[in-house]
């Protein structure tokens, strides 16, 4: 616990057997529970997770990265989490930062905290492919200009959320694919959430997960569509389901609660 807040780490996993143990062994002791959701892996990810003492949920079919996270957050909220930290089990991000990220939420500084690979300038040094770095910077610039934010990146997979933040968003309306992360962040901005960032070193190596050029292109187009939909909702032009909720400013005890996440299976 941190400041009497229950901290739960969720690990959306797919074929993470080779990197899972390294990730788990660096998760701080202040984390009260670790939940791994296995998205129908073809390796022994789920078996290893059980051996490591994690709470494990296994999908009976591959539901995609976004679908995996929906199960992650539902399970964490069911487990009584006050703060939920989403950490990839591929050891690309440093688990040691879970505690400082969660602390910023536990002490009421932010509603969501991002582990940024761009702050500190270490992304390329950590092995991020140059084309991914350029795409990251271009898409981030577009979204900052369109959404009026000043984030260093919108594409990190290392995030901490308050319980209230997750409950205020219509997560079930979001994609089951990789653009889920970007949709969530756009929803947080639309809602007026307090967003913080910490510099996070990144590691790219053969066992770390990465998407190919085709999937990256689909993701990039999805980011642009999400941005356009958010701007349209703000201007009252139209509202896609992912932005069909009140854009209220977040204040303690005043968040609106959207449709509950689906029951964990």
pLDDT tens track for 183-217: 999 999 999 999 999 999 888 766 666 678 888 99
- Confidence (pLDDT) at 261: 63
Beta carbons within 8 Å of 51's beta carbon, 6+ residues apart: none
Residue 127 in contact with residue 202, Cβ under 8 Å? yes
3-state secondary structure of 184: helix
Q: What is the distance between the alpha carbons of residues 214 and 205, in angstroms, rounded to a whole number?
A: 20
pLDDT tens across the length of the chain (265 residues): 999 999 999 999 999 999 999 999 999 999 999 999 999 999 999 999 999 999 999 999 999 999 999 999 999 999 999 999 999 999 999 999 999 999 999 999 999 999 999 998 878 888 888 888 999 999 999 999 999 999 999 999 999 999 999 999 999 999 999 999 999 999 999 999 999 999 998 887 666 666 788 889 999 999 999 999 999 999 999 999 999 987 644 444 444 445 556 555 5
Domain 7-243 has CATH 3.90.550.10: yes
Q: In which region does residue 236 sit, left (phi positive, over 0), alpha (psi from -120 to 50) or beta (all else)?
A: left
Residue 172 in contact with residue 262, Cβ under 8 Å? yes
Residue 189 in contact with residue 230, Cβ under 8 Å? yes
Sheet holding 7-13, edge to edge: 55-58, 33-38, 7-13, 83-86, 159-162, 112-116, 195-199
Q: What is the distance between the alpha carbons of residues 255 and 260, in angstroms, rounded to a whole number?
A: 14
**C-alpha torsion 123→124→129→135, nearest 10:** 60
- Confidence (pLDDT) at 264: 55
pLDDT tens per residue across span 226-240: 999 999 999 999 999
Residue 17 in contact with residue 44, Cβ under 8 Å? yes
Q: What is the reported pTM? A: 0.91
Phi, psi for 221 (deg, rounded to 5): -65, -35
């Amino acid at each position: 616990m941190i400041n009497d807040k229950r901290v739960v780490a969720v690990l959306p996993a797919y074929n993470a057997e080779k990197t899972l143990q390294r990730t788990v062994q660096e998760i701080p002791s202040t984390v009260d529970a670790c939940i791994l959701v296995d998205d129908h892996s073809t390796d022994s990810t789920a078996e290893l997770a059980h051996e490591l003492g994690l709470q494990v949920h296994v999908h009976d079919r591959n539901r995609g990265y976004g679908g995996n996270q929906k199960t992650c957050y539902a399970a964490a909220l069911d487990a009584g989490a006050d703060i939920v930290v989403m950490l990839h089990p591929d050891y690309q991000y440093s688990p040691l930062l879970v505690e400082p990220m969660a602390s910023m939420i536990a002490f009421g500084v932010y509603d969501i905290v991002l582990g940024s690979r761009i702050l500190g300038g270490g992304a390329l040094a950590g092995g991020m492919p140059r084309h991914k770095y350029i795409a990251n910077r271009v898409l981030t610039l577009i979204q900052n200009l369109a959404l009026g934010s000043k984030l260093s990146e919108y594409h990190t997979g290392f995030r901490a959320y308050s319980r209230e933040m997750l409950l205020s968003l219509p997560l079930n309306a979001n994609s089951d694919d990789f653009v889920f992360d970007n949709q969530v962040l756009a929803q947080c901005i639309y809602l007026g959430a307090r967003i913080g960032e910490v510099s996070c070193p990144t590691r790219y190596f053969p066992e770390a997960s990465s998407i190919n050029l085709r999937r990256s292109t689909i993701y990039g187009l999805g980011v642009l569509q999400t941005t356009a939909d958010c701007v349209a909702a703000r201007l009252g032009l139209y509202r896609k389901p992912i932005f069909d909720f009140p854009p209220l400013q977040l204040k303690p005890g005043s968040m609106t609660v959207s449709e509950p996440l689906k029951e964990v299976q």
